[in-house]
Structure 1
Amino acid sequence: MDLAIATDYRGEFRKIEDMEVCLREIAEAGFSHIHWCFDWTGDYIYSKAEMYQIREWMEQFDLLFARYPKEFLGFCLDTGHANLVWGDSFIEVLVERYKDRLFSIHMHDNKGWGDEPGCGDAHRLPGEGNIDWKRLMGVLRTSAYKLPWTLEVSKPIEEDAVVYLKRAKEASAWMDCQ
């Protein structure tokens, strides 16, 4: 399995000059690709209202996908954000429906909306939330998507980066066996 991880997994801003350590840690953990994230200078945690607006875009997806061929227009599936918008029904609403249009996949888990740890836009490792990974991976394996899976996760502040990357790699192997 080709596997990428976003370079902002540490949850901290890094200068371009400081990326060498991050890239080395990712390579040594066994990831085959990176998803380069650089210069995030704001808070990119989405609100409920922003997430629910995605539902309104669904009609536009159908219109655009009917107009343009899949080689020209696809979409990025973000598993955690989809889980916040639709719960587990995102697997049917988005993944089954548009599996021939997947252009990129950002994989992370959460526990839906709520106040406990892991709720909201938490960007947890697969298996740490309530996404049905077995069902999701079954659909993704039948999709046209053949590029690396990208983990878009955030390391807990108190956890060592090398330990977290090892856990991320293990979570990916678990996810791939689902």
Structure 2
Amino acid sequence: MLALTSDYVTDRGDPEPYLRRMAEAGFTHVHWCHHWRSDFLYADSEMMQIGRWLDAYNLRLIDVHGSEGVEKFWYAPQEYARLAGVELVKNRIDLAARLGGDAVVMHVYPPTQHPDFARFNEFLFDQIRRSLDDLESYARTRNIRIALENLIDFPAIEAGVVEATHAADNAELIGRLLATYAPDFLGFCFDSGHAMLGQDRVERFAPFFERLVALHLNDNDGASDQHLPLYMGVVDWERIAQLIAASPYAKPLSFELSIRHTAFQAPEPFLRYSVEGCRRFAERVRTLRSP
């Protein structure tokens, strides 16, 4: 069983053709990643239609990438925007619960060097705490966990303030938050591509694999976040397989791949190529788990 992100071509528009193609390629589960950076709210009718598409193609939802929001940012410094962002996360919790998932992945950024956002650093932790406190009961009653994803200082990199090699990551922040909340509410999402940007950061996040809830498995060249198919870049897949095999993670392996930075021009050959690397990696994890 293998899961693929829904946005491997685009995260806007009609997802039905892309769901059909991923099923035809051999993927069995979906990590819902549409509208992950937007203020889009899913209506009941849209959730029901996604469920019908999944049923039609024998796909199952594994988890959802929650939207960090734009104006409704989930830990914004303005209280009205933070509360709106919390409502946006609740919407993704509802989507996950409605469609059989067990987790919503959320971004928590490290302290940034970007001058426009650096003023947030001093109360970053407290704002995230407020939002997690607001979400905890809502998530628990729906049997959904929040999974914090490993990131680096993307705002400063995108602004040219710092190179990826010297960018901060959020290992310390995630560690503080995991120590504050119980495992049945707050866990960890490991993004293998993010862990290789600028430098190999895998060991900084290895301690969190005991709280592993979700996976974003993808490759890159170490310089940019390309979401390449496995074995096309610099990720040490043997090390990642060892960490997953030793962790309590028991869901299908989940791959966050994109056609955008590959030479493929159409989804079908991209998926045929990608699924082989996914199967190869899954077999390695199975082997490591075997007594």
Bin for the TM-score computed over the shorter chain: 0.7 to 0.9
Q: Distance in 2 between matches of 1:37 and 1:61?
A: 21
Matches within 5 A, 1:129-148: 129-148=233-252
2:186 is the counterpart of 1:80: no
The code of the aligned residue for 2:220 comes to N
Pairwise CA RMSD? 2.3
| Higher RCO structure, 1 or 2 (CA under 8 Å, sep 6+) | 1
Using a 3 Å threshold, how does the CA distance of structure 1 residues 20 and 154 change in structure 2: closer, same or farther? same
Q: Deviations over 1:116-155 (max 9, x none)?
A: xxxx111101100011101210111010111222211111
**2:186 alignment partner, SS class:** coil
Aligned pair in 2 of structure 1 residues 98, 129: CA closer, same or farther (>3 Å)? same
Name the amino acid aligned to 2:173: Q
Q: CA deviation at 1:41?
A: 7.4
Worse overlay, 157-166 or 145-154: 157-166
What is the aligned counterpart of 2:205 among 91, 94, 107? 94
Amino acid at match of 1:6: T
Q: Deviations over 1:21-58 (max 9, x none)?
A: 1111111111110112224678xxx46637734x2x33
> TM-score, normalized by length of structure 2?
0.50
Residues 175 and 208, structure 2, Cα contact 8 Å, conserved in 1: no
**CA separation in 2, counterparts of 1:35 and 1:62?**
24
Distance 1:168 1:14 in 2: 22
User: Residues of 1 paired with 2:12 and 2:25: CA distance?
Assistant: 19
Q: Distance in 1 between matches of 2:174 and 2:199?
A: 16
Aligned to 2:215: 105
CA distance in 2, matches of 1:126, 1:157: 15
Distance 2:11 2:210 in 1: 35
What is the DSSP-based 3-state SS (H/G/I as helix, E as strand, rest coil) of the residue aligned with 1:103? Answer: strand
Task: Give the one of 255, 269, 275 matched to 1:163.
Answer: 269
Alpha-carbon distance in 1 for matches of 2:188, 2:11: 27
Spell out, residue by residue over 1:7-32, the C-alpha distance to the aligned partner (whole angstroms, 9 max, x if none). Answer: 1112x3541xx322111111111111
Superposed, which structure 2 residues align to 1:1-178 within 5 Å? Answer: 2-10=1-9, 12-15=10-13, 18-39=14-35, 46=154, 49=157, 52-53=167-168, 55=169, 57-84=170-197, 86-87=199-200, 89-90=201-202, 92-95=203-206, 97-113=207-223, 120-155=224-259, 156=262, 158-178=264-284
Report Cα offsets for 1:101-130 as digits up to 9, x if no partner: 1111101001212xxxxxx11110110001
Contact 2:192 2:218 in 1 (8 A): yes
The percentage of aligned residue pairs carrying the same residue is: 34
User: SS where residue 4 of structure 2 aligns?
Assistant: strand
CA contact (8 A) 1:108 1:151 kept: yes
Write the distance in 2 (CA, Å) between the matches of 1:48 and 1:165.
33
Specify the SS of the correspondent of 2:3.
strand
Runs of 5+ consecutive residues of structure 1 not aligned to the other structure = 114-119
Flag the structure with larger Rg: 2
